[in-house]
Amino acid sequence: MAGATRTRLVREDTSGADAVAALAVGVASVLFGLGLAAMFEVVALTGALAGVPTLPLLGGLLLVQGVAVVVFGVGSRFGAVETNPRPDAGIVAAVAFTLIWFVVGGLVASQVLSLGLAGWLLGAILTGAAGFAATVLPREDVGSTLPAGVVTALVGLVFLSGYIAPTSVWDLGWAQKASLTAEFMVPVVTVFCALLTGWAAAKAYGGFGARGRRIGAYLLVYLNAAAIVGVLFALVAFTVFKGVPGLFRGLTFGPGVGPESTVVLFGASVTFSWPVYWPFAMNGVGLLNDLNGVLPAIVGTFWLVVGAVLFAVPLGVGAAIFLTEYAERGRFTQVVEVATNGLWSTPSIVFGLFGFAFLIPRFGNGKSLLAGMLTLGFMLLPLVVITSREAMLSVPDEYRDASAALGVTKWQTIRSVVLPAALPGVVTGTILGVGRIAGETAPILLTMAGGVFVPGSQTADVIGGFQFTAAPPFVSNPELLQATSALPYQLYALITAGVGASGNVGNPDQFRWATALILLIVVLSFYAVGIVTRYYFRRKLDYE
């Protein structure tokens, strides 16, 4: 490696220069966070943070950050800071900076200088080439800091100068009337510049070279991970904030405030009142209700998932046992595998149509809970087959050999060795599948109906609905054949109902968000049950 200095074996105490670089990394992380916050409108661009207007604050931070990075790089070049840079910053950085400077040059030439097409193209190409040269020609310490720092400082200057107002809008001039708002562009550019200078500062902190590149990569990976978690958290938090007022409206505790329930045990019936009254989860929609709720949809979703799992898991696991343990591997198993994978990626509306055209005419020609259960069961089946098969294939053959050598038959081996070892995998697959089917709208739309506002009388009482009859099949359950609702479909209906969602439910917007939140809660509780089950089976297999 020509030009590279020797790496120190032991890094001495942090020097002042290291502290500066670390500070720059810190500022970059703060900018990254601020940018994301502004993007989700947690921080208003028009407002102020700690007494300073937001936009100039961002601009100032970016300017300081850009200058600091450049100073550090140039200082390293002239020996003021001890580093171990490579001869150049590398081809990936060169391509990235070329693109960035191409865009910067193009923007300046067209927007600020108002040059024509040929003019801005020429400007963009020239600045792009300059960015390329600035990255490739100097040593790594300058090559990776100078282009990044100058861009950031420029952006900072633009924000500071007031050239962009927090309320600016750029008309893109397209036929679709698309436009970009400062509210969106400022955070995006801030986040981008924060990543760019953060990366450069992290490299500087590591003294460039292999160590610097590693630390630079770490920073990007960690910021990326933090952003993903942050976005997920923001999504859930958003739903919770919007949904909580509607969800807990009228929630009261106290003896006897809740609805009355009657439990029949051995002929003796006991009637009691719930000590909690939660209108949204305990009521349907009715004229006489003080507050309306979505009880029928909650119960419908619960029974849908239970029914689909009861239908699909035994069938799927059975099919997986046949495919892995009995069928000879060959053309047939390959075809089955391709078919199950294909079924799993089949759009849900197709399953819904199948249920509508095939199941409904066979269940009394009306939309029903049973038809919905079976349709969702068909949807769940392929994933259960695929994951159970994977889980069984990953059970070591040594177990099967050991069992056979003890004179144990194949079926007994499957039952007592293969299935227990595969159970965590089966449960994982089922959890994944439940996550999908519990949120399906299309099949429910076609097989189960429901509506915008479902009266409490449509709550499916599946357990209480079983009746013994004198004629075969001796048991019937009219509740299963009744049309009822489920949360995803009710949510869809509420949203599309528009103005029609009248004062019957008080505040329709609150009602919608509360429905969304409760759907989230129901799906997450299915997840929780699945994860606990998997943990239980895994603990039985692992040694502690």
Partner 1 sequence: MSETKQNPRQNTTQPLETTSGESDEKLRSEWTEYEFDGRTKLAVEDLDVYYGDDHALKSVSMDIPEQSVTALIGPSGCGKSTFLRCLNRMNDRINSARVDGSVAFDGKEIYQDGVDLVELRKRVGMVFQSPNPFPKSIRANISYGPRKHGDIDTSLLAKVFGRSDEDAEDRLVERSLRQAALWDEVSDRLDDNALGLSGGQQQRLCIARALATDPEVLLMDEPASALDPIATAKIEELIHDLAEDYTVVIVTHNMQQAARISDQTAVFLTGGELAEYGDTDQVFEDPQSQRVDDYISGKFG
Nearest approach, Cβ of residue 429 and partner 1 (Å): 20
Q: Residues 274 to 333: which contact partner 1 by CB under 8 A? A: 328
- Closest CB 495 distance from partner 1, rounded Å: 49
Which of 270, 406, 475, 499 is the binder for partner 1 (CB under 8 A)? Answer: 406
- Residue 420 makes contact with partner 1 by CB under 8 A: yes
CB of 404 to partner 1, least distance (A): 6
Q: Going along 274-428, which residue ranges are E strands? A: 276-277
Q: Binding partner 1 by CB under 8 A: which of 161, 401, 500, 535?
A: 401
Q: Which is nearer to partner 1, 240 or 417 (CB)?
A: 417
Closest CA to 104 of 153, 61, 144, 65: 153
Sign of CA pseudo-dihedral 324, 327, 330, 331: negative
Closest CA to 6 of 143, 175, 211, 253: 211
Strand partners, 526: none
**253-254-259-262 Cα dihedral, nearest 10 degrees:** 130
For partner 1, which residue of 402, 524, 528, 529 counts as binding (CB under 8 A)?
402
Q: Using the rule CB under 8 A, which residue among 12, 13, 260, 544 binds partner 1? A: 544
Complex with partner 1: residue 290 or 397, whichever CB lies closer? 397
Q: How many Cα atoms within 13 Å fall on the side-chain side of residue 281?
A: 19
Residue from 16, 51, 173, 396 binding partner 1 (CB under 8 A): 396
# residues contacting partner 1 (CB under 8 A)? 22
Q: Which is nearer to partner 1, 403 or 430 (CB)?
A: 403
Q: Choose, by CB under 8 A, the member of 184, 274, 399, 527 that binds partner 1.
A: 399
Stretch that binds partner 1, among 166-174, 209-217, 269-277, 391-399 (CB under 8 A): 391-399
Q: Residue 425 corresponds to which tokens in the numbers above?
A: 């995998």
What does the DSSP assignment read for 28-72?
Answer: HHHHHHHHHHHHTTSS-SSSEETTEEHHHHHHHHHHHHHHHHHHH
Q: For residue 263, what are the β-bridge partners?
A: 270
Whole-angstrom CA distances from 232 to 188, 213, 235, 236 are 18, 29, 5, 6
- How far apart, in whole angstroms, are the C-alpha atoms of residue 280 and residue 295? 7
Alpha carbon distance 229, 257 (integer Å):
41
Which of 202, 421, 448, 454 is the binder for partner 1 (CB under 8 A)? 421
Least Cβ distance, residue 331 to partner 1 (angstroms): 15
Nearest to 325 by CA among 413, 453, 405: 413
Cβ closer to partner 1: 177 or 329?
329
Range in contact with partner 1 (rule: CB under 8 A) among 237-245, 258-266, 314-322, 408-416: 408-416
Among 224, 252, 409, 525, binds partner 1 (CB under 8 A): 409
Tell me which of 111, 161, 179, 416 binds partner 1, using CB under 8 A: 416
Using rule CB under 8 A, residue 541 touches partner 1: yes
User: How far apart are alpha carbons 111 and 310 in whole angstroms?
Assistant: 63
Closer to partner 1 at the Cβ: 263 or 405? 405
Residue closest to 98 by CA, chosen among 133, 145, 66: 133
As measured in angstroms, the least distance from the Cβ of 532 to partner 1 is 20
Residue 47 and residue 42: Cα distance in Å, rounded? 11
Report the nearest approach of partner 1 to the CB of residue 398 (Å): 4
Query: Which residues contact partner 1 (rule: CB under 8 A)?
Result: 328, 396, 398-399, 401-409, 412, 416-417, 420-421, 541-544
